[in-house]
Structure 1
Amino acid sequence: MDNPDFIIIGAGSSGCVLAERLTASGRHRVLVLEAGGDDRRFFVQMPLGYGKTFFDPKVNWMYRAEPDPGLAGNVDHWPRGRVLGGSSSINAMVWVRGHRADFDDWRAAGNPGWGADDMFAAFRAVECAVIGEEAIRGRGGPLNLFVPDRTTHPLTRKWFEAAQSLGLPLNPDFNGASQDGVGQFEFTIHNGRRLSAARAFLRPAMKRPNLRVITNALVTGLTFDGARVTGVSYTKGGRSITVKAGREVILSGGSVNSPQLLQLSGIGPADHLRTLGVEVRLDNPHVGRNLEDHVGINYTYRANCPTLNQVLRPWWGKLSVGMQYLLLRDGPLSVSLNQAGGFIRTSPERARPNMQLYFQAISTVIPRPGERPILDPDPWPGFSIGWSNCRPKSRGEIMIRSADPLEPPRITPNALSHPDDVAEMLETGRFVRKMAAASPLAECIEAEVLPGPDITDDEAMIDDIRRRSGTVYHPVATCRMGPDPARSVVNSRLRVHGLGGLRVVDCSVFPNLVSGNTNAAAIATGWRAAELVLQDTP
């Protein structure tokens, strides 16, 4: 496509929504450049297939973080989607909007138009939910949401009862009026297949003549005319190509790739860029900094009753569930691993939940290097209760290592570097053990496998948390939104401070993390951003 009005870099969660909304009227020509390939792959479309795509370089950037002192020096695996749909094509598909107060925090930070009312209107517009109050939940949007009642493992009900015995309510809708309690998650699954942003938004839009999508196109830099971004340079099939945008370039690469491309193009911390020989176009020390991410861990138990281990481990079980999925689009392969979870407050004084829970009727203790063994669990019955922090105070950064766009950036999470984050994780570990000791779940437990019954005092539990915790794959804020160029990267209309013709639209612009999985907020951000772009386009 020659002379598109808009160039969108990245066909991830936000980029797919942007492409659909900006082409809907037929008035604007849009070019989408995606570094990855096609999403029509079996393990991308099969919901539980993310156990395979987790380590598949054909659809995954396969990033590795720096050794992290807060994680006992461990090197964490950072999967990010490199495929149409981005990380919505390889994630666990959980649909959680976040707490209303999270978005009111965005507005209070000086970002009008991004409060709870604005964002929840965007959520309602994209959702086609089957649960919840109609005044709150969307019913006619393009994104069908699924609650796996029939396929939920019976052990999950026992966990619900144990949680209720400790005072947690059973919550039928985490995206409704209240987030507190335990219950089943909603998923971006439709008719037994993953409903990524590519399937829900981009593919319907690709039928329009005013949209062109180019895959396997790695954008290597932005082009400029003074202080205005005019287009992009990208490589495909060994060729270097430059294309200009008639109106704007919109960067939707995600919290890793967006700051990386800005820095490669000379937008970022000037001192760091100069040491790498990158010409400085705009000195902004916040590009790549302020990184926030949820950190999680599991406690795992050996059960005296059947779990999904006995279904997915033996060859005859694999054959049975495989046939069930292929013929009926049903069974364990048609849903996610975390079928249930919850949100809790570690103290009653907290104004909103600060920890997220996950329940898995499966265990994967036995390590398998280079593999996430969801489809090959432990040979004995087991289950796990996991948790992650909703609003961590630890901050990290993402910085390029060189001027080479093919070299992965340096990811420094600084996980659990703030003492409050450690205290929250410890408090929740003690609470999870209370849940495991509560009836009727306690009657199903033969032994605690991880961390083990000998790990009881604070020092030992914290050491275990540091050694076994890791990212929950929700990085945000590396191009954060705010009114002050001295403290942020983009303004409330997502325009990069100090430059014309360039916006950033993805999780990197979040001023702070939301309480829960970030894919829903990424999609709603794409919807809200499209409204702003269209308002600003004559």
Structure 2
Amino acid sequence: MKTDYDYIIVGAGSSGCVLANRLSADPAVSVCLIEAGSHDKSLRIQTPAGTITLYKSKKYSWNFFSAPQKNLNGRSLHTPRGKALGGSSSMNSMIYIRGHASDYDRWAQAGCPGWDWISVLPYFKKSENNRLGQDPRLHGTTGELNVEAARDPNPVSRLFVKAAQQVGIRRNDDFNGDQLEGCGLYNLTQKDARRLSSYRAFVAPVLDRPNLTVITDCSVQSLVIEDRVTRGVRVESEGEQTTLTARREVILSAGSLGSPSLLLASGIGPANDLTNAGIQLEHDLPGVGKNLQDHLDGLITVRSKSPLTLGFSLGSLPSILTSPLRYLFGKKGWLTTNYVEAGGFARTPLAETLPDVQFHFVPGYRSHRGRLFEWGHGYAVHTCVLRPKSIGEIRLGRDGKPVIDFNFLADPQDAKVLIEGLKLARRILADPQFDGIRGTEMLPGKQVQTDEQLMTYVRECAATVFHPVGTCKMGVDPMSVVGPDLKVHGVQGLRVVDASIMPTLISGNTNAPCIMIGEKAADMILNRNTRPYESQLARQETGTTPTSPAAETQSS
């Protein structure tokens, strides 16, 4: 095995795969991309409908569980992360969402110049291959990442969009267009009715580059640090330990759980936490593992007798049995679904000008018992708090494993927003659009009506929606871990490039922003001084100052 490279990238997820592509485009530069998981060749990964089987997979998921959540009745929450080439982009629902313009402007205002919306828009466009004919001011068409409409959405998903309109939520056909607010069918990162993970988009097409090495089933144990200079990584593969050397940089792209864990395991982090974990201190960096944020999610699930919805029953047997043929020959049918086909962004009465909740609508029955599959039919709405105020942390236990404490509902405002969001979701499902397939609400159940009862339900059943960020926060304050250039404070030759650098959680799904982070980081690493012309470029391409998704002040 070759053991020395210019760049070593730890983690072949959404950001890491972009980096591997961009850095290895220079044939004079050697790049090693390390993935602890395995290949992604399974039909469960490549077929959209297979996503539902991945979250509890022992092979393709890191089945983490959080620390007991004191404000959620002491429950430990299942926290799956992707364990394969592509990382979590090989197991997510493939939804392409950038967030709101103000999300990025907040980053810049918090001491991260160059990360405002006008500056990051060109990087979103660079990677995008929009196949929908959407606004060219705001979308790219020459990138590697296909963005397409769902191939064969279930008709019940369209009912949800119509019902949302009836209760005053506008229809939105492009959540990455001029406005974020509204409901519609989600656009997806797919190609030819197959999942397009970050690995499949950015790395698989360039595997023939002789200067790019991709290593799977390889666990990085720690960083090699000498006098606060990162020299490489210690890895274990097939029971053998090896040291890989980086001549220029080691780049951590292991995600919001993996990257801080590796820093801590290497002695970089809060001195007290490292001492308690029995780890020798290399560099006291108080912010490592802190600032954990995620979208807290509440479920409304309804049983229905209608075989129009996805589900297992005698009535649906013909469509189930023919689904492989429909998928193989027509790219249609059940196997094309990503399950959360529709959804959107809305304002509860607690919101000011911006949406404060997001919906993910499933045209199938979500088990009220937490099972992967249930016999029968139905539909469900997930509602999440879009801009949570509660902050958690990650630390290492004595066993070396990460202790994940989301600290959900530490701020009471999050509970209030979620309760109002659940009420709004119920209003949508109560609309006459659903009369033809109406069923019985299993969760929370019709007996749960008051705010106090809904609060009890939230404590009993709320969960993460799998968007952890922030644990290696970007900034210049004492609790930041990396600067705006993504270099780790106080340690040379080391950067973090993934969702963990987000100072605050963006308004929506996190895959597209992670790809943008990889694009922008690659330019910084390659010493492309983009800052002087980013704003000018964005204005030239749009004809105006880009505001998408707009800093909205809609009244509906």
Short-chain TM bin: over 0.9
Q: Which residue in 2 is equivalent to 1:208?
A: 209
Secondary structure class of the residue paired with 1:515? coil
Distance 2:208 2:453 in 1: 57
How far apart are 1:152 and its partner, in Å?
A: 1.6
Question: Which amino acid in 1 is paired with 2:483?
Answer: N
Q: Which residue in 1 is equivalent to 2:520?
A: 528
TM-score, with normalisation over the residues of structure 1? Answer: 0.94
Distance 1:252 1:310 in 2: 37
Q: Which residue in 1 is equivalent to 2:551?
A: none
Distance 1:217 1:51 in 2: 26
Distance 1:24 1:14 in 2: 16
CA contact (8 A) 1:233 1:242 kept: yes
Q: Which residue in 2 is equivalent to 1:396?
A: 392
1:353 and 2:355 matched: yes
CA contact (8 A) 1:307 1:362 kept: no
Secondary structure class of the residue paired with 2:149? coil
How far apart are 1:453 and its partner, in Å?
A: 1.1
User: What are the residue-to-residue correspondences of 1:47-446 with 2, within 5 Å?
Assistant: 47-131=48-132, 132-148=134-150, 151-303=152-304, 305-310=306-311, 316-347=318-349, 350-365=352-367, 367=369, 372-373=372-373, 377-379=374-376, 381-402=377-398, 407-446=400-439
How far apart are 1:413 and its partner, in Å?
A: 1.0
How far apart are 1:536 and its partner, in Å?
A: 6.9
* Offset from partner CA, 1:83-114 (integer Å, 9 cap, x none): 11000001111110110110111111111111
Find 2:507's aligned residue among 515, 521, 524.
515
CA contact (8 A) 2:311 2:364 kept: no
Unaligned runs of 5+ in 2: 530-556
Q: Which residue in 2 is equivalent to 1:35?
A: 36
CA contact (8 A) 1:127 1:137 kept: yes
Secondary structure class of the residue paired with 1:297? strand
Secondary structure class of the residue paired with 1:359? strand
CA contact (8 A) 2:472 2:501 kept: yes
When residues 310 and 502 of structure 1 are mapped into structure 2, their CA distance, relative to the original with a 3 A threshold, is: closer
Question: Which amino acid in 2 is paired with 1:121?
Answer: P
Distance 1:343 1:218 in 2: 38
* Offset from partner CA, 1:137-167 (integer Å, 9 cap, x none): 111110011212x512222222222211221
Distance 2:74 2:292 in 1: 19
Q: 492-501 vs 59-68, which deviates more?
A: 59-68
Unaligned runs of 5+ in 1: none
Distance 1:368 1:298 in 2: 11
When residues 108 and 152 of structure 1 are mapped into structure 2, their CA distance, relative to the original with a 3 A threshold, is: same
Distance 1:461 1:336 in 2: 29
Distance 1:424 1:153 in 2: 29
Question: Which amino acid in 1 is paired with 2:509?
Answer: N
How far apart are 1:329 and its partner, in Å?
A: 3.5
How far apart are 1:443 and its partner, in Å?
A: 4.8
Secondary structure class of the residue paired with 1:240? strand
Distance 1:307 1:323 in 2: 19
Distance 2:3 2:437 in 1: 63
How far apart are 1:430 and its partner, in Å?
A: 1.4
When residues 152 and 246 of structure 1 are mapped into structure 2, their CA distance, relative to the original with a 3 A threshold, is: same
Distance 2:350 2:370 in 1: 40
Distance 1:416 1:349 in 2: 18
Q: Which residue in 2 is equivalent to 1:456?
A: 449
CA contact (8 A) 1:71 1:466 kept: yes
Question: Which amino acid in 2 is paired with 1:72?
Answer: N
When residues 312 and 77 of structure 1 are mapped into structure 2, their CA distance, relative to the original with a 3 A threshold, is: farther
CA contact (8 A) 2:378 2:439 kept: no
Secondary structure class of the residue paired with 2:297? strand
When residues 506 and 349 of structure 1 are mapped into structure 2, their CA distance, relative to the original with a 3 A threshold, is: closer
Distance 1:27 1:111 in 2: 31
CA RMSD of aligned residues (A): 1.7
Distance 1:140 1:348 in 2: 40
When residues 349 and 261 of structure 1 are mapped into structure 2, their CA distance, relative to the original with a 3 A threshold, is: closer
How far apart are 1:348 and its partner, in Å?
A: 7.7
Q: 350-359 vs 419-428, which deviates more?
A: 350-359
